Structure 1
């Protein structure tokens, strides 16, 4: 007999032979487990509803029919705890089929007590480790959500890794990419992971401030410096002292301001407009642009010396259409927010999610977010469908909900991802969200389907 262990796990033993149940229960209790037993499907279902179990030992041939279908049905219903199938030697093929449907292992009768203890311990240990991994993933996802870095694509993972490496430093960062791809989100994430996180994060949109006002906004001014300056005012540079200064759309900054900004970055000090007292600052600089700055340098609209000062490390963001696997998890994140805002649960059905995944999104994440907000506002049911999107678009969809559109510069990898997502959603829809049946339709193992669902951020289909 295996060495006695100090354990608190509770096991449910489901077998139609009372003598076998009593014998196995004794063996398991001797090594420290709590064991309950029952002899038919109805009793097992009742026990599972009334009590939490760490593991189930399940004979597939149970009353009332004594056919494997009864046990397999119960196996399909148990998705959160490990199940070990008990079978006779002649039922090995059936046991392997049960494992393909989600069972963790199987034991052939007559059961050896030492083997029973080993298999049970192994299943519980592995399940415990998987739970820990899931908890760590949940904590990581929560942290990523807090930082705004949401997604499962290789590009998003690359961004997370790069940000974690550069955030603790003070190197200047230039974020380049199309509008709406989350450049300010990245800047804030760098700030939040840096030693400056408890200091100010000051964001300046260089294209939104008139050029004649930009200098006074950045440097501040003294009373009487110009008409209307009726008091001293601290500039954004001074407000960012010991924190992070984010210059958004730096490519829109006028050339005369580029010279002044470069001097501040080189010397770490400046004079407020109309002032004679020098102000020293210590800031981490992060810039962003949707322009091609090297081209602007070549054409003389952006200073080369400032460009080289800004681009300590360059981060290039990607179009949303090039990372469609991020769309389901982004949609879920935004809908959770709108669910709280509208005080009702909201989610996309399979066809609506497919429509969102296959749009080109020229406005990228910003456009996706705004579209979801609009759909959430007009949806009459908790499950948002194609009809809601048609209503929003004036009964005209930009792409067919039943076909995968050809996106600009669509790669083979992206087309494969689109097709996989669509097939998974269709399979789940057809079997009312049953993962085991969906996996069988797709020719996958249940675990293989779960991995693909996790990769693409696909949630269970709600048929309530």
Structure 2
């Protein structure tokens, strides 16, 4: 176990000796300094977790000089030691950034408590900061892609993230709806508060109300104590309602009240609770169609809609495949500490698949292939181990066709999109609605592409 490090700064050699020996017996790694100048030198070489600093230090023995030196310790917690139990100095030290204040003669038990609390809090703050950096997207670039649709989505995220406007994210499964929702939260003024995700179709209808609203002891059989619901947990932050189109009608009525009034009653409770949350919803369903069929309340639809962000199927933005692969490979390389890159033939194969599972399927595919590939290059032979029906690159008709014109990347993507649209229209007997569904894009999106390419 790593020892916590303490820098003890005091001008009395006897005190330094006794205090450092006692702290060492408490399993701390201690360095000492007899002056502020020596302390500045030690701190540069000794990454202390805590500084114990005497208030009256040579050569001036002026407490103000010591207090002015607090900034020299780079944000580490500093506990001020003094031989003068002066309350005004204590308050001044704390106001200038000291963690705490302890007077001589020092009570060892009191010192143990103060030191332990200071080190524990500092370690927790560091861990939280590191965890946020490691797991939290920091900007709208978290939604990856060079396509027009990806760029428009990023621009929209940057505009609306700082506001509290409700957002409805729609689009096929696996296209990054949850990534968008996380990014909206992380760029908002609520970023330090919770992001609570609820999959409306994964929780049984009879349990959804108690999960969202919480319940009081005795509300039903098995309710042996009060339990906070997800709404309370999200207070001050963001509530993400995933697949909201699957929410039961009875629950939709109760959610509408929450959105209208910002209040709710826990199951079995009589005391109204107030919450302040931002609501972001997502669905792969056509909610307007559900409104027409009576499966989704119209008033709730317009409450959650606010701003609509529509994601596209990966097949409609194939130019994003290479950059997505690059990001996924970088993550794999970081996790597995091995260098990987795609051969041109392997990259072409990834670009030409339909990816009905969209970005999620692409990510799983590259991770699976990378897992069986030694460090180096991912080739068609590696892909064939997991996809036995894939022909060799020399005989692969789709690759041969796509690379035949040897044009620029944009030209080849355009050529591939035209062929996919032709194929979908042929399969659907020129039914544009059906063709759009096959391609995973909206009917209007298909019409725009037909017009753009003059088909």
Q: Does 1:255 align with 2:249?
A: yes
Where does the alignment leave 5 or more consecutive residues of structure 1 unmatched?
1-141, 406-412, 422-464
Q: Note the C-alpha offset of 1:341.
A: 2.4
| Pairing of 1:144-163 with structure 2 (within 5 A) | 148-163=142-157
* 1:241 alignment partner, one of 235, 256, 262: 235
2:53 match: none
Match of 1:319 in 2: 313
Deviations 1:284-306 (A, max 9, x none): 11000000000000000000000
- Indicate the residue corresponding to 1:461 in structure 2: none
2:162 aligned residue (121, 145, 168): 168
* Matching residue of 1:416: 411
Q: Which residue of 1 aligns with 2:33?
A: none
The residue that corresponds to 2:362 in the other structure is 368
Q: What per-residue deviation string (whole Å, max 9, x for no partner) do you get for residues 319-366 of structure 1?
A: 111111111111111111112222211111111111111111110000
Contact 2:193 2:236 survives alignment (8 Å): yes
Q: Could you say what the CA RMSD is over the residues aligned between the two structures, in angstroms?
A: 2.5
Q: 1:416: Cα distance to partner?
A: 2.8
Cα pair 2:149 2:312 within 8 Å, conserved:
yes
State the match for 2:399 in structure 1: 402
- 1:22 match: none
CA 1:313–1:198 in structure 2 vs 1: closer, same or farther (change >3 Å)?
A: same
CA distance in 1, matches of 2:316, 2:284: 17
SS at match of 1:260: helix
Work out whether residues 269 and 278 of structure 1, in 8 Å CA contact, stay in contact via their aligned partners in 2.
Answer: yes
Q: Residue 308 of structure 2: SS of its match in structure 1?
A: strand
Corresponding residue for 1:294? 288
Normalization by structure 2: what TM-score? 0.57
267-276 vs 394-403, greater mean Cα deviation: 394-403
Aligned with 1:382 (options 373, 376, 382): 376
What SS class does the counterpart of residue 204 from structure 1 fall into? strand
Q: Is the 8 A contact 2:215 2:229 kept in 1?
A: yes
TM-score norm. by structure 1 comes to 0.56
Whole-Å Cα distance in 2 between the matches of residues 179 and 414 of structure 1?
Answer: 27
Task: Provide the rounded CA distance (Å) in 2 between the counterparts of 1:159 and 1:236.
Answer: 28
| Number of equivalenced pairs | 274
SS at match of 1:179: coil
Kept in 2, the 8 Å contact 1:386–1:401? The answer is: no
Is 2:217 aligned against 1:220?
A: no
Aligned partners of 1:144 and 1:150 also within 8 Å: no
Q: Aligned equivalents of 2:138 and 2:345: distance in 1?
A: 28
Partner in structure 2 of residue 99 of structure 1 = none
Greater than 3 Å deviation, 4+ residue runs: 142-147, 397-401
Q: Aligned partners of 2:140 and 2:165: how far apart in 1? A: 23
Q: Deviations over 1:201-256 (max 9, x none)?
A: 11100011111110011001111211221221110111111111110000000000
Residues 266, 419 of structure 1: alpha-carbon distance in 2 compared, 3 angstrom cutoff: closer
**What residue in structure 2 maps to residue 111 of structure 1?**
none
Q: Is the 8 A contact 1:269 1:280 kept in 2?
A: yes
Instruction: Give the equivalent residue in structure 1 for 2:180.
Output: 186
Q: CA deviation at 1:418?
A: 2.2
